[in-house]
């Protein structure tokens, strides 16, 4: 059975965690929310704090080797908190080193910039962080979903149907030899 990590902390965009999680679970994947601390993390929806979600594992309990793929939801607060934590950046980098699928939506690429894994990659994001990605060496494009050798990115919650479908396709394909940091 495929085991997938969703890396998130407080302030994640709720739909960007809930929708991929449900889509992957429907495929029979075992999906775990991985975070900085035990307990619950609080989502963000329509400009306000929203529902809480149970953390399945903390970063100090897991390694990229334990999972088939990594999903990074957006939200403004969530990636800004994650990118300050070396343990989160190492976890992200290891998925790229192991050539496993990684999917990121909206503001999540902020964490990827800090992890140093976007240079030379074709990708998209929420339009306000386009400059950050270009400055970090990414080949930024404005498309609902971009797939670059197992690396899946989308712009915003409206892109979730396309994001989910590509993400599931990449997980089913497994490792991508060309996936790299």
List 18, 21, 107, 155, catalytic entry: 107
Of all residues in the chain, what percent are helix, strand and coil, respectively (each to 5)? 40, 25, 35
Interatomic CA distance for residues 166 and 98, integer angstroms: 20
Whether residue 107 lies in the annotated active site = yes
Whether residue 176 lies in the annotated active site = no
Q: Which helix (H) or strand (E) holds 113?
A: helix 109-115
Q: How far is CA 143 from the centre of its chain?
A: 17
Interatomic CA distance for residues 42 and 14, integer angstroms: 8
122 Cβ contact list (under 8 Å, min separation 6): 138, 139, 141, 146, 148
| Per-residue CA distances from 106 to 50, 130, 168 (Å) | 18, 10, 18
List 82, 103, 106, 146, catalytic entry: 106
Q: Largest alpha-carbon pair distance within the chain? A: 41
Q: Which residues are catalytic?
A: 106-107
């Amino acid at each position: 059975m495929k085991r997938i990590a969703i890396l998130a902390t407080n302030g994640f965009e709720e739909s960007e965690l809930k929708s991929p999680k449900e889509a992957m679970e429907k495929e029979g994947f075992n999906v775990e929310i991985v975070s900085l601390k035990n307990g619950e993390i609080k989502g963000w929806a329509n400009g306000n704090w929203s529902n809480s979600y149970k953390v399945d594992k903390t970063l100090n309990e897991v390694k990229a080797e334990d999972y088939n793929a990594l999903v990074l939801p957006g939200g403004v607060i969530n990636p800004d908190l994650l990118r300050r934590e070396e343990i989160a950046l190492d976890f992200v980098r290891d998925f790229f080193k192991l050539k496993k699928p990684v999917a990121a939506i909206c503001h999540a690429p902020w964490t990827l910039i800090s992890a140093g894994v976007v240079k030379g990659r074709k990708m998209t994001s929420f339009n306000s962080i386009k400059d950050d990605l270009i400055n970090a060496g990414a080949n930024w494009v404005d498309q609902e979903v971009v797939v670059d050798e197992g690396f899946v990115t989308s712009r915003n919650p409206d892109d979730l149907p396309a994001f989910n479908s590509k993400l599931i396709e990449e997980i089913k394909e497994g490792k991508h030899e060309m996936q790299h940091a």
